[in-house]
């Protein structure tokens, strides 16, 4: 996944969004019963039919409000959104993700949500879209990370399948048995990424943090955080994972789908792909992540947000409330995503009975929100810069992590 990266100075990105927020706009209609046409921007073409159905169902209940669903592919979504926000013409309602949220919310691009019941959604997901005590996004869906594994390779190595009793020690013992260099087979792929699946999970399992609770300080100097990083670098050093170069050339998911790695830290979103892949659809299954000093999985999910410059804020608010309803969630569950509304996820679990998808829901109670700040992309670039040498074996993990912490603190200080 690629997020809103700086193309110039941070101040430039913040400035254009802030300028958009300050532009005048008095031509608004706060009457929820007034005739209105609102826009709804999304980025996943596979979900467009479901979004159009939700829009149509909403209009049946609100005949005066028409909703136009607008698709912009992920590759261009944020570029278009920044341009639209800069011109004060952002869609009335649009999808938001965690890494971009605070940048938009703290620069006045989003309208705070009022009179919504946040208790219907996982708290960690609500927290992700709350800043300075205000909630700006109503959760749409969510995903957690589990341990996907190849049953055939486990059977061949005579290793018991993962379950909720697995710890890091259990994992490491299994990894040694599942590595067969003669066959070009590894236990897992130790990928370095700022995405949801890898080191963030083990950092929190080790008792560390990526960011302080107030989002002002890096957690990378914490010995516990460094322990979470070593979980991955130790696997490369032991020869139980391919090198970072190999994983850059061929992604871990592709190695898992061809039987070259036995385990894969992957998300709930992988269920759809693994169920259609000829190799994995009969060989793969999933369990909760192994426990370190504590249990943890990174939770992320999309939220529906409202433009602060919407000319129809009342209509947009009514639509967002509907999108966050139980009725809407039940439709989403039938279309391949885990709905955020509590108690509506069973349909998603049953959509792929060949996999133990309940594992992803069992993890919600100890889930940790994806770490974000007001300009997440700035310090994620630093993660790649400072940690890559540690993954390549050319730098000490502890030293690299502490250098990252210093640089990250400087970047966070610029967010004020």
Q: Which residues pair with 142 in a beta bridge?
A: 338
> What pLDDT tens digit does each residue of the chain (416 aa) get?
332 322 233 334 454 455 555 544 445 666 667 799 999 999 999 899 999 999 999 999 999 999 999 999 999 999 999 999 999 899 999 999 999 999 999 999 999 998 888 899 999 899 999 999 999 999 999 999 999 999 999 999 999 999 999 999 999 999 999 999 999 999 999 999 877 999 999 999 999 999 998 899 999 999 999 999 999 999 999 999 999 999 999 999 999 999 999 999 999 999 989 999 999 999 999 999 999 999 999 999 999 999 999 999 999 999 999 999 999 999 998 887 899 999 999 989 998 999 999 999 999 999 999 999 999 999 999 999 999 999 999 999 999 999 999 999 999 999 87
pLDDT in tens, 305-341: 999 999 999 999 999 999 999 999 999 988 878 999 9
Alpha-carbon distance values, 257 to 200, 270, 351, 352, 363 (Å): 23, 11, 21, 17, 24
Give the pLDDT of residue 6.
Answer: 28
Give the pLDDT of residue 32.
Answer: 65
**Side-chain-side CA neighbours of residue 374 (13 Å):** 22
Rounded CA gap, 248 and 192, in Å? Answer: 9
Give the pLDDT of residue 114.
Answer: 87
Rounded CA gap, 188 and 61, in Å? Answer: 50
Give the pLDDT of residue 408.
Answer: 98
Find the length of the chain.
416
Query: How does DSSP assign 268-288, residue by residue?
Result: TTHHHHHHHSTTHHHHEEEEP
Question: Exposed, middle or buried by CB within 10 Å (0-12, 13-18, 19+), for 44?
Answer: middle
Query: How does DSSP assign 21-65, residue by residue?
Result: HHS--------TTS-EEEEEEE--GGGHHHHHHHHHHHHHHSTTE
**Kind of pairing between the strands at 297-299 and 145-150:** unpaired
Secondary structure of residue 76 in the 3-state scheme: helix
Give the DSSP H/E element, type plus range, for residue 172: helix 168-178
Secondary structure of residue 238 in the 3-state scheme: coil
Rounded CA gap, 376 and 6, in Å? Answer: 10
Give the pLDDT of residue 334.
Answer: 84
pLDDT in tens, 247-263: 999 999 999 999 999 99
Which residue intervals of 296-342 are DSSP H helices? 313-323, 326-333
Rounded CA gap, 351 and 337, in Å? Answer: 10
Backbone angles phi, psi at 42, to 5 degrees: -135, 165
Residue 70, both tokens: 């607008």
Rounded CA gap, 411 and 4, in Å? Answer: 16
Secondary structure of residue 178 in the 3-state scheme: helix
Rounded CA gap, 105 and 102, in Å? Answer: 5
156 Cβ neighbours under 8 A, 6+ residues apart: none
Give the pLDDT of residue 280.
Answer: 97
Closest-CA residue to 360 (of 46, 147, 125, 187):
147
Question: Exposed, middle or buried by CB within 10 Å (0-12, 13-18, 19+), for 259?
Answer: middle
Taking CB atoms within 8 Å and a gap of at least 24, the contacts of 224-231 are 224/293, 225/401, 226/397, 226/398, 226/401, 228/199, 228/202, 228/203, 228/204, 228/292, 229/199, 229/202, 229/203, 229/387, 229/390, 229/397, 229/401, 230/397, 231/168, 231/199, 231/202, 231/205, 231/206, 231/292
Rounded CA gap, 228 and 213, in Å? Answer: 18
Closest-CA residue to 255 (of 309, 353, 350, 187):
187
């Amino acid at each position: 996944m690629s997020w809103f990266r700086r193309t110039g100075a941070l101040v430039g990105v913040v400035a254009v969004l802030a300028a958009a927020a300050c532009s005048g706009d008095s031509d608004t209609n706060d009457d929820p019963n007034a005739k209105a046409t609102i826009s709804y921007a999304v980025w996943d073409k596979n979900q467009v039919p479901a979004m159009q159905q939700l829009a149509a169902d909403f209009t049946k209940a609100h005949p005066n409000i028409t909703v136009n669903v607008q698709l912009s592919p992920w590759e261009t979504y944020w570029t278009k959104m920044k341009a639209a926000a800069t011109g004060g013409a952002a869609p009335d309602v649009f999808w938001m993700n965690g890494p971009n949220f605070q940048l938009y919310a703290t620069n006045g691009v989003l309208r705070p949500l009022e009179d919504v019941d946040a208790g219907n959604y996982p708290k960690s997901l609500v927290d992700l879209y709350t800043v300075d005590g205000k909630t700006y996004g109503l959760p749409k869906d969510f995903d957690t990370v589990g341990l996907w594994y190849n049953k055939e390779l486990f059977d061949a190595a005579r290793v018991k399948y993962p379950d909720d009793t697995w710890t890091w020690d259990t994992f490491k013992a299994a990894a040694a048995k599942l590595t067969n260099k003669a066959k070009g087979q590894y236990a897992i792929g130790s990928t370095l990424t700022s995405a949801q699946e890898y080191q963030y999970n083990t950092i929190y399992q080790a008792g560390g943090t990526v960011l302080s609770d107030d989002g002002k300080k890096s957690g990378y100097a914490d010995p516990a955080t460094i322990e979470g990083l070593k979980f991955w670098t130790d696997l490369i050093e032991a020869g139980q994972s391919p090198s970072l170069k190999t994983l850059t050339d061929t992604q871990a998911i592709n190695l898992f789908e061809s039987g070259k790695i036995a385990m894969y830290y992957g998300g709930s979103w992988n269920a759809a792909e693994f169920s259609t892949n000829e190799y994995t659809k009969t060989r793969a299954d999933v369990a909760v992540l192994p426990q370190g000093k504590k249990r943890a999985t990174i939770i992320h999910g999309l939220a529906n947000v409202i433009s602060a410059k919407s000319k129809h804020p009342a209509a947009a608010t009514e639509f967002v409330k509907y999108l966050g309803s139980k009725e809407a969630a039940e439709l989403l569950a039938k279309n391949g995503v885990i709905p955020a509304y509590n108690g509506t996820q069973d349909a998603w679990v049953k959509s792929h009975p060949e996999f133990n998808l309940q594992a992803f829901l069992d993890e919600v109670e100890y889930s940790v929100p994806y770490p974000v700040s007001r300009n997440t992309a700035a310090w994620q670039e630093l993660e790649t810069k400072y940690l890559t040498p540690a993954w390549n074996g050319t730098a000490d993990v502890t030293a690299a992590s502490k250098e990252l912490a210093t640089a990250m603190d400087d970047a966070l200080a610029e967010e004020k």
